[in-house]
Amino acid sequence: MGAAFFYHLTERPLEATLPVLLGKALDAGWRVELRGTDPDTLDRLDRHLWLGDGFLPHGLAGGPHDDEQPVLLTTGAGTNNASCVMAVDGATVTPDETAKLDRVCILFNGADPAAVEHARGQWRTLTDAGVAAQYWAEDGGRWVKKSESGQTG
């Protein structure tokens, strides 16, 4: 069963955090589905990943080679055989889905009370279903594990 890692963004924006996490996932040999709820946000992230500090191979869902993308940005379930789902903007990840993955990463904006409350609900849903979870928060430019539920690997 996969584990869920929650990332509470309080110091750096999503655009700064996401490339680091995506790079680590690719280094682990995982295909990643970056799941969002807003096509405009995914378009913005797509541009950032192309034009940012380093190149991360990826594509927006709906292209001719979705199944070959190491990172697929999508508002629905991807088709790139992902072993890691990174959810942004409150995108839903179910316990059943998590069980089939190596990792789920839920990134949420700490300055948005609705996003924080939604992430708390996701934590309860996943951990109540037996999914191992970790909660990470930024502290002085570093990620610090603040809470853990169940066994994670």
Tens digits of per-residue pLDDT, 8-42? Answer: 999 999 999 999 999 999 999 999 999 999 999 99
Tens digits of per-residue pLDDT, 106-122? Answer: 999 999 999 999 999 99
- Residue 88's nearest CA partner among 26, 128, 46, 133 is 46
Q: Judge whether residue 123 has pLDDT over 80.
A: yes
**DSSP 8-class letter at 30:** -
Strands 3-9 and 71-74: unpaired
Helix (H, G, I), strand (E, B) or coil at 20: helix
Tens digits of per-residue pLDDT, 131-151? Answer: 999 999 999 989 999 999 976
pTM of the model: 0.92
Question: Which pLDDT value is given to residue 60?
Answer: 85
Listing DSSP states for 76-143 in one string gives S--SS--SEEEE-TT----HHHHHTSSEEEEEEETT-HHHHHHHHHHHHHHHHTT-EEEEEEEETTEE
In this prediction, residue 54 has a pLDDT band, given cuts at 50, 70 and 90, of low
* Cross-strand pairs, 145: 136
Domains of the chain: 3-149 (3.40.50.10110)
